[in-house]
Structure 1
Amino acid sequence: MSEQHHHGHDHSGGHSHAPKVNATNRRRVGLAAILTGLFVIVEIVGGLVSGSLALIADAGHMVTDFAALAMAWGGFVIAQRPANWRHTFGYDRFSILVAFVNGITLFAVAVWIVWEAAHRLTAPGEVLAGPMLYVAIAGLLVNVFVFWVLMGADRDNLNIRGAMLHVLGDLLGSVAAILAALIIMTTGWVAADPILSVLVALLILKSAWGLVKDSAHILLEGAPDGVDTRAIAADLVESIDGLNGVEHIHAWCITPERPMLTLDAYVDEGVRLGPINSAIKARLQNAFGIDHATVDVMRRSDTATRTDI
């Protein structure tokens, strides 16, 4: 039987579609969610009693923090489920979807803060600076501890990054509430409360944009960071003897930790296809960090009978 083309996956050291979930990430996000959820109650009561928008805005943000952290924890739990015939890559991508939703909620929170601040500036109300200050300081301490907990997780993970951005925004909200309380206590200028809330909202928007952009890039099957398909094609042809062309390269990732690639490789008559296939995959893994590649190696003369779908 003549050898027409060689197609396959890279199974360097054994390949698996089993999810790669860091148990430390799951534990730390779970602890952060519990602490945040408990303090939400304290801050909502404090904001209502003191009449502070900065505290109420921070409490509203902490509600989304709790939801985001809970979703992140759920994402890690679901990602542990093994691949099956319907979800052949497993459930890792669920965590990216959670990160995207977290980013959208950050946008919504920021818009609400700005809207409420505009209302407070036109119709200022009484603010009890004393209770506001005490609750804000307690919130700052809780947020610092939660942020420290998350610092020990994998910060390259988009889900962890989204959770940290939520907590960082809330930490800044606590700082703003403390500053507003001190200004009101010393000067009586109640407008400091909504103005500082808007500054926090702008910081939240910046963080939200980065998170939505990166998670949407993955959901839209964009190429992984640092992967230039043009450079890969040129490198493979230059570094592998017998390979004279690389076409139809598609690169994407399930998560930032799981880059994927497919390509068509062409060789001249008389060149064995199997060794070229192995050489391409080894080069992709060693030079570009791509350990899951589907490679179709063929001779130019075979393309007349081959149909791409």
Structure 2
Amino acid sequence: MAIEVVIGVVARSLALISDAAHMLTDAVSIVLALIAMRLAERPARGGFTYGLKRAEILSAQANGLTLLLLGAWLAYEAVRRLFEPPEVAGGLMFYTALAGIAVNVAAAWCISKANRTSLNVEGAYQHILNDLFAFVGTAVAGLVVLLTGFARADAIATLVVVALMFKAGYGLVRESGRIFLEAAPAHLDPDAIGDRLAAHSSVAEVHDLHVWTITSGQPALSAHVLVEPVADCHTVRLDLEKVLQCDYEIGHTTLQVDHAPATVLEVRTGSGPGSGPGSGGGHCEGAHGPVHRDEPHLH
């Protein structure tokens, strides 16, 4: 990175300087990833009932934000150079970019063997991969400048790098933001899960259903389940936990299972007060989210 900064200044190449800046964020992202993984390994204690597992998500969000902010600055400089292109040493650009490609191929190969289901590790990998693509673009631009003297190729290559940075940065910020806002994992539909639980032969109603992500690859679910008066609550709970584990790969579940009161049973048959859509039948005031009942089963 240090060599690239020096050559970038000498060659007056914004593409090389942008690659060097991107490489700096690579180094920072890997340091953050290592620190976050160590913090996430600490056991839960005190007020941190989940431990520090979300330190990994915080690291991923920081990586995404650095990509976006750095990309914005480089985009401004690249546009300015499109209007006022300086003299660029194409030969220095080309050969330095080739060296950068070799370094980043080795780095990408090393980190690709890690567990990339972690959003944190994926963030570090995206940094390296984008840097590799950036060097390829810089090498092409350097060759164009060297052969044709078209200096604006340097700024165009920088804009290509910026586009890659924005794409990776936005993806990391979006995914980490979903986790911090307690959104359901993108591949899980809470309504479909609620309907599946309500379809159990002994379940009268499912409400207060919440699905969220503790950290990368660790979804969690909680729900209040009401069962028929003659049903065994413990047996129903075990059945539902098995469905969640086998069909949805949700191993961290908290199910409150109770016998349904008469008001809920009346609602199931379409009679009694509070039988409107989304009503909890008077059992739980202020229930969060929709109420799930197996209507076809009722009739």
Which TM-score band applies after superposition, normalised by the shorter structure?
0.7 to 0.9
Q: Segments of 4+ in structure 1 off by > 3 A?
A: 302-309
Amino acid aligned to 1:134: Y
Whether the 8 Å contact between 1:224 and 1:256 is mirrored in structure 2 is no
Matches of 1:209 and 1:271, distance apart in 2: 48
Which of these residues, 208, 224, 244, is aligned with residue 264 of structure 1?
224
Q: Are 1:41 and 2:10 an aligned pair?
A: no
Q: Normalising to structure 1: TM-score of the pair?
A: 0.82
Matches of 2:242 and 2:135, distance apart in 1: 51
Matches of 1:182 and 1:111, distance apart in 2: 26
Percent identical residues: 36
Equivalent residue of 1:254, what SS? strand
Matches of 2:164 and 2:230, distance apart in 1: 61
Q: Normalising to structure 2: TM-score of the pair?
A: 0.85
Which of these residues, 114, 119, 122, is aligned with residue 75 of structure 2?
114
CA apart distance, 1:308? 7.2
CA apart distance, 1:266? 0.6
Q: Are 1:203 and 2:176 an aligned pair?
A: no
Q: Per-residue CA shift, 1:88-134, capped at 9, x if unaligned?
A: 11111110111111111111121111111122223222222222222
Q: Which runs of 5+ in 2 are unaligned?
A: 265-281, 288-299
Cross-structure match for 1:24: none
Cross-structure match for 1:244: 204
Q: Are 1:293 and 2:253 an aligned pair?
A: yes
The count of corresponding residues between Structure 1 and Structure 2 is 269
Matches of 1:98 and 1:256, distance apart in 2: 12
Whether the 8 Å contact between 2:57 and 2:215 is mirrored in structure 1 is yes
Q: Per-residue CA shift, 1:280-305, capped at 9, x if unaligned?
A: 21221122111111111112229978
Whether the 8 Å contact between 1:252 and 1:260 is mirrored in structure 2 is yes
Equivalent residue of 2:87, what SS? coil
RMSD: 1.9
Matches of 2:88 and 2:283, distance apart in 1: 78
Within 5 Å, give how 1:57-72 maps onto structure 2. Answer: 57-72=18-33
Q: Per-residue CA shift, 1:6-63, capped at 9, x if unaligned?
A: xxxxxxxxxxxxxxxxxxxxxxxxxxxxxxxxxx112111211211111011111111
Amino acid aligned to 1:251: V
Amino acid aligned to 1:69: I
User: Higher relative contact order at CA 8 Å, sep ≥6: structure 1 or structure 2?
Assistant: 1
Whether the 8 Å contact between 2:71 and 2:165 is mirrored in structure 1 is yes
Matches of 1:261 and 1:242, distance apart in 2: 20
Equivalent residue of 1:144, what SS? helix
